[in-house]
């Protein structure tokens, strides 16, 4: 009798077995429009490109999430129009590319990258080095960057390490091109500040007191320098001498670039907020912001500060952590979820690549959701795009699909927060810079 039952199960299993597999849908291959006049449609100097998709993720900051059945028009590397199909007339000269069921979304933005160069940028002689530039170390199109690109990362902030309090200036880069000139978005792209943790391992083993003193003193000097230039620019007089050591502070004062702050743990981040924001009034974003930092996310929210969280993505309950950082969440606390619970809205993600490979930036969003981030209003996708872009001061150029912005576009198999979904094509400034159908799938 038992055999009969088994046989019945087996038989019925055969009948029903297809159901879970049925959804392995494969969309037809993407048809890239042919070049017109030797230039790709959508690229600088070429004809326009119209992308049609069932779903376009706009990721506007505090704006629209998504358009269903939409069209996006690209010309000269810039987004010309984006909207519902019914509202947009595709100009006759535009080449059309229908991506079918695939999604269209903005390229991912990484505000903590160490792999776009040769990592020769950890100068450890002085405790503060505001004059050093990461741009001198860039290696466009290297393997790790290309892997990141295959994972959808189109813009990165390449920054010095956190071995000193002020590591130097970062550079904002595109990842899709092979020359520095085409890659550069902004240089200087940032100033790197590191508080507590890593710089404590510097030559003299400074404590937090000295480091905060040193940071304050350095920044005040820089601000004073910038103020003399501001006075000159406003009132004229004797032209001040250019000092490369302090030039970055002129950009900071104009809020053209932001300070990316290696800061984590409650007290340390509180110090960053009170010192850099409240006292010195310089633009900065919380980089890392891990361990128990989530507990003061409310303070950061009040001041409209951005957070680019990672590479740690959870605050785990263990004695080692309690001894080390004082954080005792008494549960597996998702970092981003903690921020969200405190009412924090500017949640971005980083990888600190190579700590986490650049191409796994999306996984940081997935883990955030897994560990409790409520993914309403596309919080996770915004944390990969517009939030880090704004944190780094390039929210006007990239991070969302809006008219006038760079045409940095991903064509994906679905929501990129889900690790099961992948990038089928990357377009940067209107050019196809990653096409797995031609060059093989990298990620």
Partner 1 sequence: MKSSIFNTGLLAALLLGLGLPAFAMASAATPGASFVIEDEKEEAKDEESDEDEDKTRWYAVVGGDFHTGTGAVLKNATMLCKDGKIVELGYDVWIPEDAEVLDATGFRVYPGIVAIASTGLFGGGSDVTNTVDPYSQGMLLGLASGITSAVQGSEIAKLKRGSIDDLVMGSNFFQTMRYRSSTPSGKQELRQKLDEAAAYLRTLRAWRADRSKDKGKEPKATGIDMGLVAVLAGEKRAIFREDNRAGLLDIANLCMRYGFRPVIQGGREAWTVADELGRAGATVILTPRDRRAKDQSLIREGGTSIENAKILHASGVQVAVRSMSTGNNSMGGIAGRDVIHLPISASFAMRGGLSEQAALDSITIVPARLAGVDHRIGTLEVGKDADCVITDGNILNYATFVQWAIVDGAMVYDKQAEMYYAHIRPRPDDQLAPEARVDAGEEVEEMTGIDGEPIVKDAEEGEGDETPKEEEGEKEKSKED
Partner 2 sequence: MRFLALLLTLGSLCGISQAGDLLAIRAKTVYTGTGEILHHAVILVDSGKIVTIGEDLPIERGIPILELDDNQVVVPGFIQPYTRLGSSTRGRNSTDPHVLAKDGFYPTSALKEYAKAGIVLAGYYPAGRGMPGQASVLRPVPADGKSYVVKESSYAKLLTSSSKNEKDRVRSIYEAIEKHKTKAEKHKEKYDKAKDKADKAAKKEKDKDKKKAILEKVGKFAPLKPDAKNQAFMDIESGDLPVLVSLDRAGTFLHFKDALDDKSMDWSLRLPISLESDFANIKEEVGKAGTRVVMDPAISVNPGSRKQRNLPAEFSKAGAKLVLVPRSDSAFGAKNWRKDVVSVIRAGLDEQTALSAMTLECANLLGMGDTHGSLEAGKVADLLILSGKPFEPASEIEAVMVDGKFVHGEAGL
- Tell me whether residue 411 is exposed, middle or buried, using C-beta atoms within 10 angstroms of its C-beta: 0 to 12, 13 to 18, 19 or more: buried
- Interacting residues with partner 2 between 257 and 316 (CB under 8 A): 316
- Interacting residues with partner 2 between 315 and 334 (CB under 8 A): 316-319, 322, 328, 330
- Interacting residues with partner 2 between 329 and 358 (CB under 8 A): 330
Task: Report if residue 57 touches partner 1, rule: CB under 8 A.
Answer: yes
Out of 60, 95, 292, 360, the residue judged to bind partner 1 by CB under 8 A = 360
Instruction: DSSP letter for 151, please.
Output: T
Q: Nearer Cβ to partner 1, position 134 or 335?
A: 335
Radius of gyration of the chain, Cα coordinates, nearest whole angstrom: 24
Task: Report if residue 321 touches partner 1, rule: CB under 8 A.
Answer: yes
57 binds, among partner 1, partner 2, none (CB under 5 to 8 A by kind): partner 1
Q: Nearer Cβ to partner 1, position 284 or 371?
A: 371
Give me the least distance between CB of 429 and partner 1, in Å please.
Answer: 26
Give me the least distance between CB of 332 and partner 1, in Å please.
Answer: 5
Task: Report if residue 357 touches partner 1, rule: CB under 8 A.
Answer: yes
List the structure tokens of 37: 């006049």
Out of 43, 52, 56, 66, the residue judged to bind partner 1 by CB under 8 A = 66
- Interacting residues with partner 2 between 173 and 212 (CB under 8 A): none
Cα 188 from Cα 316, distance rounded (Å): 36
Task: Report if residue 323 touches partner 1, rule: CB under 8 A.
Answer: no
| Helix/strand/coil for 136 | helix
Q: Nearer Cβ to partner 2, position 36 or 322?
A: 322
Cα 66 from Cα 57, distance rounded (Å): 4
Complete DSSP assignment for 376-435 = GGGHHHHTTTHHHHHHTT-TTTSSS--TTSB--EEEESS-TTSTT--EEEEEETTEEEE-
Point out which residues pair with 81 in neighbouring strands: 73
Residues 85-124, one symbol each (x = binds partner 1 by CB under 8 A, - = not), give ---------------xx-----------------------
Task: Report if residue 442 touches partner 1, rule: CB under 8 A.
Answer: yes
User: Taking a C-beta distance cutoff of 8 angstroms, is the pair 69, 98 a contact?
Assistant: no
92 binds, among partner 2, partner 1, none (CB under 5 to 8 A by kind): none
Task: Report if residue 13 touches partner 1, rule: CB under 8 A.
Answer: yes
Out of 296, 337, 347, 407, the residue judged to bind partner 1 by CB under 8 A = 337
- Interacting residues with partner 1 between 155 and 184 (CB under 8 A): none
For 183, phi and psi rounded to 5 degrees?
-80, -30
List the structure tokens of 226: 């910038």
Cα 66 from Cα 291, distance rounded (Å): 33
Give me the least distance between CB of 140 and partner 1, in Å please.
Answer: 16
Q: Nearer Cβ to partner 1, position 135 or 417?
A: 417
Task: Report if residue 236 touches partner 1, rule: CB under 8 A.
Answer: no
Give me the least distance between CB of 330 and partner 2, in Å please.
Answer: 4
Give me the least distance between CB of 311 and partner 1, in Å please.
Answer: 6
Give me the least distance between CB of 115 and partner 1, in Å please.
Answer: 12
Kindly give, in sequence order, each residue whose CB lies less than 8 Å from that of residue 92, ignoring residues fewer than 6 positions away: none
Q: Nearer Cβ to partner 1, position 235 or 330?
A: 330
Complete DSSP assignment for 4-43 = HHHHHHHHHHHHHTTGGGTT---PPPP-PPPPBTTB-TTS
Task: Report if residue 55 touches partner 1, rule: CB under 8 A.
Answer: yes
Cα 67 from Cα 54, distance rounded (Å): 8
Kindly give, in sequence order, each residue whose CB lies less than 8 Å from that of residue 331, ignoring residues fewer than 6 positions away: 317
Kindly list the residues in this chain that would bind partner 2 in the complex (CB under 8 A): 316-319, 322, 328, 330
């Amino acid at each position: 009798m038992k055999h009969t039952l088994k046989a019945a199960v087996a038989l019925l299993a055969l009948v029903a077995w297809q159901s879970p597999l049925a959804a392995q849908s494969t969309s037809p291959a993407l048809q890239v429009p042919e070049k017109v006049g030797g230039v790709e449609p959508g690229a600088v100097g070429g004809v326009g490109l119209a992308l049609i998709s069932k779903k376009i993720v706009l990721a506007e900051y505090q704006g629209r999430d998504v358009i269903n059945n939409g069209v996006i028009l690209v010309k000269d590397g810039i987004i010309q129009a984006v909207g519902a199909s019914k509202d947009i007339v595709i100009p006759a000269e535009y080449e059309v590319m229908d991506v079918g069921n695939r999604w269209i979304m903005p390229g991912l933005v990484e505000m903590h990258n160490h792999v776009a160069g040769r990592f020769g940028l950890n100068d450890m002689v002085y405790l503060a080095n505001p004059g050093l530039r990461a741009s001198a170390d860039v290696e466009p199109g290297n393997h790790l960057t290309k892997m990141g690109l295959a994972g959808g990362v189109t813009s990165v902030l390449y920054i010095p390490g956190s071995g000193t309090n002020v590591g130097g200036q970062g550079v904002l880069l595109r990842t899709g091109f092979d020359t520095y000139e085409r890659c550069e978005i902004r240089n200087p792209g940032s100033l790197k500040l590191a508080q507590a943790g890593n710089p404590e391992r510097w030559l003299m083993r400074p404590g937090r007191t000295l480091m905060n003193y040193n940071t304050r003193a350095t920044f005040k000097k820089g601000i004073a320098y910038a103020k003399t230039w501001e006075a000159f620019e406003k009132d004229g007089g004797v032209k001040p001498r250019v000092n490369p050591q302090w030039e970055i502070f002129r950009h900071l004062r104009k809020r053209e670039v932001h300070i990316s702050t290696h800061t984590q743990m409650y007290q340390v981040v509180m110090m960053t907020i009170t010192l850099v924001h409240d006292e010195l009034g310089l633009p900065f974003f919380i980089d890392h912001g891990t361990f128990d930092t989530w507990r003061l996310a409310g303070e950061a929210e009040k001041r409209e500060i951005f957070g680019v969280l990672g590479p740690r993505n959870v605050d785990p309950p263990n004695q080692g952590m309690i001894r080390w950082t004082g954080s005792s969440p008494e549960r597996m606390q998702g970092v981003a979820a903690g921020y969200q619970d405190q009412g924090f809205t500017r949640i971005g993600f980083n990888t600190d690549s190579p700590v986490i490979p650049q191409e796994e930036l999306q996984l940081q969003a997935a883990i955030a959701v897994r560990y409790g981030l409520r993914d309403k209003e596309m919080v996770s996708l915004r944390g990969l795009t517009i939030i880090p872009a704004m944190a780094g001061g390039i929210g006007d150029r990239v991070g969302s699909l809006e008219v006038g912005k760079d045409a940095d576009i991903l064509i994906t198999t679905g929501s990129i927060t889900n690790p099961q979904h992948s990038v089928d094509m990357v377009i940067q400034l209107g050019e196809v810079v990653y096409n797995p159908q031609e060059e093989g799938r990298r990620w």
